[in-house]
Amino acid sequence: MIRDIENKKINMVITKDLSRLGRDYIETGNYLEKYFPTNKVRFIAVNDGYDSLEDGYANEFAPFKSVFNDMYAKDISKKVRTALKTKQIKGEFIGTTAPFGYLKDENIKGKLVPDSISSEYVKKIFNLYLSGTPLLAIANILTEQKIPTPSQYRDIKNTQKYLIGAWNENSVRFILKNEVYIGHTVQNKKKKINYKLKSQVDIPQKQWIKVENTHEPIISKEDFYNVQSILSKKTYKPREGHTHLLTGFMFCGNCNAPITFMPQYKKGKYYTCCSTAKRYKKELGLCKMQLIPEEIIEDYILHNLRKIAKEYIDKEKVAKSINKIGMGTALESKKKMQKSINEKLENIKQINFNLYKDKVRGIVDENQFIELSNNLNDEKEKYKKELEKMDDEIIFIQSKNKDTNDLRKVIDNFLAFEQIDRNILALLVEKVIINLDKSIEIHFTFNL
């Protein structure tokens, strides 16, 4: 209808009453006072006696009517939330679809019952993990055996665009950590910001609503807590402040996917791994692992750069080439990221302002306002730190871009480096390709 109005195909809109146009008084007012008059559209609300061509009492009362409609929507939303929370406190399951392994009881509303088929898959996952099988290996086994993923099991038609039966570590971990499988119902993990917005925010764990023994368990509590113990010990945490030198530079020569790093816990080393192969089983024909120690690739790049610098590079030519190609690309990329972060900060500022207006109007209470405002401030601080780091990197690139002599010094100094840092790497290397045969290709930002 909006499109037809703007194409001049419609010159009148008629509704039963004002609430059928909208219950958000701000948006309704925008249509009545701005949009319809601008597009020369006559609006009539039959039951409310409103006609935009007339100057009657009904027209003057319309803004108040819109506010009442908005308050009605807010009141209904509050009553619905209260009713749902009451059900959660009673232990009734209110989700739209039952968790993987369960079905909704057809006779008792809000109760879960084990599904004879998918519950066996859940048991298989727990048994495999307790027997010492890693998460990725479990995902590969499930994929290889063509066991449907939770989303595929719910509705195969909705997952045709995805790889059929392709499990991943996160799916397996989510099932292993879900208390629903020992008979507990845990809800109220997310909530809408307010009744006008569909977006949700996470609720702190201490505010989750957990009711024990609400339905028949699939997994024994002993097995479940043994799994939690193993998961907590095997959770890998990278060294504080550690960033892989080659992150963002390496790509798979077979599928072009980014190369990620996979830690080996016992030796504390990192190995390269195609992200496609890591996520999906290689038998699907997508890609294969390329397990190469991180330090071998770093040494290979360092060796090649030194060799080129010593034997082939015309320093004058390289300096100009980097200026035109490497620095220009790097600077453009950094500025795009800087712009994106600034847009996010501006968006947070606007959300905070709207949140304050909702608080003043009584749409959001004091506690909600404080909680949401604190979350937004945390996000803002995170983006500010990212922006400061981005500014430093842009200043570095720009400083090197001012004088070609600086680039000659970079190349000269590089010959004496024992290690590569990311700034130098970004100036000299465009990307690194890891092929299936574990051969390595380096694409430089300059031409020899």
The mean pLDDT of 376-390, rounded to a whole number, is 78
Question: For residue 104, how many other CB atoms are within 10 A of its CB?
Answer: 16
Q: pLDDT band at 45, cuts 50/70/90?
A: confident
User: Which pLDDT value is given to residue 219?
Assistant: 92
Q: Which residue has the tokens 């108040």?
A: 64
Q: What is the dihedral of CA 217, 218, 222, 227, to 10 degrees?
A: -130
- In the predicted model, is pLDDT for residue 31 greater than 70? yes
User: Which pLDDT value is given to residue 364?
Assistant: 65
DSSP 17-65: SHHHH-S-HHHHHHIIIIIHHHTT-EEEETTTTEETTS--HHHHHHHHH
- In the predicted model, is pLDDT for residue 146 greater than 60? yes
The mean pLDDT of 120-144, rounded to a whole number, is 85
- In the predicted model, is pLDDT for residue 414 greater than 80? no
Residue 148's nearest CA partner among 121, 112, 176 is 121
The mean pLDDT of 244-249, rounded to a whole number, is 73
The more confident residue out of 111 and 410 is 111
- In the predicted model, is pLDDT for residue 176 greater than 50? yes
- In the predicted model, is pLDDT for residue 401 greater than 60? no
The more confident residue out of 420 and 379 is 379
**Distance in Å from the first CA to the final CA of the chain:** 60
- In the predicted model, is pLDDT for residue 286 greater than 80? no
The mean pLDDT of 301-318, rounded to a whole number, is 67
Question: For residue 121, how many other CB atoms are within 10 A of its CB?
Answer: 20
Class of 102-234 per CATH? alpha beta
The mean-pLDDT minimum among 4-8, 141-145, 307-311 falls in: 307-311
Q: Where are the domains of the chain?
A: 2-87, 102-234, 294-444
The Cα–Cα gap between 182 and 176 comes to 11
Question: For residue 118, how many other CB atoms are within 10 A of its CB?
Answer: 21
- Give the three-class secondary structure for 441: strand
Residue 99's nearest CA partner among 185, 211, 220, 166 is 185
157-162-168 Cα angle (round to 5): 120
Q: Name the CATH superfamily for 2-87.
A: Resolvase, N-terminal catalytic domain (3.40.50.1390)
The mean pLDDT of 236-248, rounded to a whole number, is 55
The mean pLDDT of 261-282, rounded to a whole number, is 71
DSSP 294-308: HHHHHHHHHHHHHHH
Asked if 189 contacts 177 with a C-beta cutoff of 8 angstroms, the reply is: no
- In the predicted model, is pLDDT for residue 186 greater than 50? yes
User: Which pLDDT value is given to residue 375?
Assistant: 73
The more confident residue out of 227 and 244 is 227
Q: Which residue has the tokens 């719910």?
A: 154
The more confident residue out of 91 and 196 is 91
Q: What are phi and psi of 127, to 5 degrees?
A: -65, -40
User: Which pLDDT value is given to residue 406?
Assistant: 52
- The tokens for 204 are 């702190």
Q: With pLDDT > 90 as the criterion, what percentage of the chain qualifies? A: 8
The Cα–Cα gap between 348 and 384 comes to 12
Sheet with strand 250-252: strands edge to edge: 250-252, 429-434, 440-444
User: Which pLDDT value is given to residue 189?
Assistant: 79
The more confident residue out of 258 and 101 is 101
Which residues, 6+ apart, have CB-to-CB distance to 438 below 8 Å?
Answer: 290, 292
Give me the residues paired with residue 261 across strands. 272
Question: For residue 244, how many other CB atoms are within 10 A of its CB?
Answer: 17
The mean-pLDDT minimum among 86-100, 116-130, 221-235, 403-417 falls in: 403-417
> Residue 351 gets which letter from DSSP?
H
Asked if 259 contacts 251 with a C-beta cutoff of 8 angstroms, the reply is: yes
* Greatest mean pLDDT among 61-75, 124-138, 282-296: 124-138
- In the predicted model, is pLDDT for residue 384 greater than 70? yes
Q: pLDDT band at 327, cuts 50/70/90?
A: low
User: Which pLDDT value is given to residue 163?
Assistant: 44
The more confident residue out of 435 and 357 is 435
- In the predicted model, is pLDDT for residue 262 greater than 70? yes
Give me the residues paired with residue 260 across strands. 273
The more confident residue out of 171 and 136 is 171
Question: For residue 215, with 0-12 CB atoms within 10 Å meaning exposed, 13-18 middle and 19 or more buried, which class applies?
Answer: buried
- The mean predicted confidence, pLDDT, of the chain is 75
Question: For residue 52, how many other CB atoms are within 10 A of its CB?
Answer: 18
The mean pLDDT of 136-153, rounded to a whole number, is 84
User: Which pLDDT value is given to residue 218?
Assistant: 92
- In the predicted model, is pLDDT for residue 217 greater than 50? yes
Separation in Å, CA 279 to CA 91, 92, 138, 167, 312: 35, 35, 12, 8, 40
- In the predicted model, is pLDDT for residue 160 greater than 50? no
Asked if 262 contacts 270 with a C-beta cutoff of 8 angstroms, the reply is: yes
Task: Residue count of the chain, please give it.
Answer: 448
User: Which pLDDT value is given to residue 121?
Assistant: 92
Which residues, 6+ apart, have CB-to-CB distance to 208 below 8 Å?
Answer: 186, 187, 188, 189
Instruction: Domain 294-444: give its CATH code.
Output: 1.10.287
User: Which pLDDT value is given to residue 238?
Assistant: 42
- In the predicted model, is pLDDT for residue 244 greater than 80? no
User: Which pLDDT value is given to residue 255?
Assistant: 78
Please write the tens of the pLDDT for every residue from 81-112.
Answer: 777 778 878 888 888 888 999 998 888 888 89
